Amino acid sequence: MPGIDYAAVRRAIPMSRVLELIQYEPAARRCGRLRGPCPLNPTSSRKSFSVDLDANLFHCFSCGTGGNQLDLWSAIHDLQLHPAAKHLCHEAGIAVPWLNQSDAIPNL
Closest CA to 5 of 102, 107, 72: 102
- Over the stretch 68-97, which tens digit does the pLDDT of each residue have? 999 999 999 999 999 999 999 999 999 999
Residue 37's pLDDT is what? Answer: 95
Residue 103's pLDDT is what? Answer: 53
Spatial strand order in the sheet of 66-68: 28-30, 33-36, 49-52, 57-60, 66-68
pLDDT at 18 over 70: yes
- Coil, helix or strand for 61? coil
Closest CA to 2 of 107, 105, 101, 106: 101
Q: What is the pTM of this model?
A: 0.88
- Over the stretch 53-63, which tens digit does the pLDDT of each residue have? 999 999 999 99
Identity at 98, one-letter amino acid code? W
- Mean pLDDT across 36-65: 93
pLDDT at 105 over 50: yes
Greater confidence (92 vs 106) lies with: 92
Binned at pLDDT 50, 70 and 90, residue 102 comes out as low
Question: What residues does each domain of the chain span?
Answer: 6-100
Residue 89's pLDDT is what? Answer: 98
Q: Dihedrals φ, ψ of 61, to 5°?
A: -80, -10
Closest CA to 4 of 93, 78, 80, 108: 80
CATH level 3 topology of 6-100: DNA Primase; Chain A (3.90.580)
- Coil, helix or strand for 79? coil
Task: Give me the sign of the Cα torsion angle 53, 24, 46, 73.
Answer: negative
Closest CA to 60 of 51, 69, 52: 51
